Amino acid sequence: MTMNPSISAEVRTNWQIPAFETPFWMGRQHPWCVVIPVINEGDRINNLLVKMKVLKIDASADIIIVDGGSKDGSLELNSLQRVGVRGLLVKTGPGKLSAQLRCAYAFALDQGYDGIITIDGNDKDDPVAIFSFIAALKDGVDFVQASRFIAGGVAENTPISRDFAIRFIHAPMLSLASGFKWTDTTQGFRAYSRKMLLDQNIAPFREVFMTYELLSYLSYRAPMIGYRCKELPTVRRYPREGVPTKISSISGNLSVLIILLKTCFGSYNLKG
Kindly state the average pLDDT of the residues 160-185.
Answer: 97
121 located within any domain:
yes
5 located within any domain:
no
What is the model's pLDDT at position 272?
A: 66
Give the pLDDT band of residue 225 (cuts 50, 70, 90). Answer: very high
What is the model's pLDDT at position 89?
A: 98
Give the CATH number, domain containing residue 125: 3.90.550.10
Q: Which residues contact 5 (CB under 8 A, 6 or more apart)?
A: none
Give the pLDDT band of residue 206 (cuts 50, 70, 90). Answer: very high
What per-residue string of b and e applies to 27-47 under the rule 16 or more CB within 10 Å gives b?
Answer: ebebbbbbbbbbbbbbebbbe
As beta bridge partners, residue 91 has 20
Backbone torsions φ then ψ of 196, nearest 5 degrees: -65, -45
State the pTM of this model.
0.95
Kindly state the average pLDDT of the residues 217-222.
Answer: 98
Each residue of 135-165: pLDDT tens digit? 999 999 999 999 999 999 999 999 999 999 9
Backbone torsions φ then ψ of 193, nearest 5 degrees: -80, 155
166 located within any domain:
no
| Dist CA 33 CA 59 (whole Å) | 11
DSSP state of 270: P
User: 233 near 153, Cβ under 8 Å?
Assistant: yes
| Stated length of the chain | 272
Chain-centre distance of CA 128, in angstroms? 16
1 located within any domain:
no
DSSP state of 211: S
Half-sphere exposure of 243 (CA within 13 A, CB side): 13
Each residue of 99-120: pLDDT tens digit? 999 999 999 999 999 999 999 9
Strands of the chain, DSSP E: 20-25, 32-38, 62-67, 85-91, 115-118, 143-147, 154-156, 190-193, 229-233, 235-237
73 located within any domain:
yes
Q: How many domains, in total, are found in the chain?
A: 1
Each residue of 47-89: pLDDT tens digit? 999 999 999 999 999 999 999 999 999 999 999 999 999 999 9
Residue 153 is part of which domain span? 17-158+187-207+226-245
Kindly state the average pLDDT of the residues 159-181.
Answer: 96
Each residue of 3-47: pLDDT tens digit? 899 999 999 998 999 999 999 999 999 999 999 999 999 999 999
62 located within any domain:
yes
69 located within any domain:
yes
Each residue of 238-269: pLDDT tens digit? 998 655 555 556 677 899 999 999 999 999 99
Burial of 57 (0-12, 13-18, 19+ CB in 10 A): buried
Please give the span between the terminal C-alpha atoms of the chain, in angstroms, as a whole number. 29
221 located within any domain:
no
User: 197 near 241, Cβ under 8 Å?
Assistant: no
